[in-house]
Chain A
Amino acid sequence: EVQLVESGGGLVQPGGSLRLSCADSGFTFSSYSMDWVRQAPGKGLEWVSYISSDSSTIYYADSVKGRFTISRDNAKNSLYLQMNSLTDEDTAVYYCARENHGRYDYWGQGTLVTVSS
C-alpha cells in the first residue's frame, strides 16, 4: 500500500524557518518525481515545488523561489522542504504528492504550517 506521511509542521514566527518531511512507503520511491502542494485555509490548491526522481531537476513556484528548498533522500525514501523567511502568506496545509506523468496519484495527509507572531 502506498503511503506518504508528512511531518514537521507547526507554529512559527514571521521570518522563521521550518523543515517539512515526507516519509514514503509501498512503492519504489526512487522511480518517481515528487512535489509539494499547499492549501491556505479555506482556499484552493497551489503547487509549490517539484523534484525529479534523481534530484537533477528542481522547480519552484515564484511565490517561494529563493526561500524554499526541496530535496530528497532516496536511500531513506524521504522528501523534504526547507522553508526559510516565512511570512503569513505561507500559512497553509502542505501536502507531499507523488507525481505520475504529471498527475498526482497519491497524496499525504498534509501537515499544517502556521506563521504568526
Chain B
Amino acid sequence: EIVMTQSPATLSVSPGERATLSCRASQSVSSKIAWYQQKPGQAPRLLIYGASTRATGIPARFSGSGSGTEFTLTISSLQSEDFAVYYCQQYNNWPPPYTFGQGTKLEIK
C-alpha cells in the first residue's frame, strides 16, 4: 500500500499571503494525485487532479505541482474561505486502495 505523508500537520498563514502544502508518496505515483478541501461539517471537495489540473469551478489561486513522489498545493493569496483541511490522495496503484494523506489544517494566523 502506498503511504501518503502530508506536511506540515498545521499551517498558520495570514489572509492575503501564500500557502504551500506538501505531500509525499512512499513510492512513485506518477502524476496521479488529487487534492481535496474539507471544511467543518462538509464533504471533501475536489480541487486538483492529475497533480496540476484544477477541477471545475476551482479558482485560479489554487495550483498544484510535482510528479513522482513529491507534490505541492499552493494557494497564492489566501481568502477567508480557504481556511480548511486539505488532503492529498494518490490513485496510481491498481487495484485500490487509493490512499489519502493524513491532512494539513490551514488556519488563520
Contact = CB atoms under 8 A, between A and B. Distances in A.
The yes or no verdict on A and B being binding partners is yes
Nearest to B85: A44
Main SS of chain B's interface residues?
Answer: loop
Given A59-B95, A107-B45, A45 B87 contact: yes
B31 to A, nearest CB: 11
B99 A104 contact: no
Interface of A: 35, 44-47, 50, 57, 59, 61, 95, 101-110
Interface of B: 32, 34, 36, 42-46, 49-50, 55, 87, 89, 91-92, 95-103
Given A103-B34, A103-B91, A44 B100 contact: yes
Nearest to A98: B46
Contacts of B98: 47, 102
B91 A47 contact: no
A55 to B, nearest CB: 15
Nearest to A6: B43
Contacts of A105: 46, 49, 55
Given A45-B89, A102-B91, 6 more contacts: A44-B87, A47-B97, A102-B92, A103-B46, A103-B50, A104-B46
A61 B97 contact: yes
B73 to A, nearest CB: 14
30 contacts: A44-B87, A44-B100, A44-B101, A44-B102, A45-B36, A45-B44, A45-B87, A45-B103, A46-B100, A47-B100, A50-B96, A57-B95, A59-B95, A59-B97, A61-B97, A95-B44, A102-B32, A102-B91, A102-B92, A103-B34, A103-B46, A103-B49, A103-B50, A103-B89, A104-B34, A104-B36, A104-B46, A106-B46, A108-B43, A110-B43
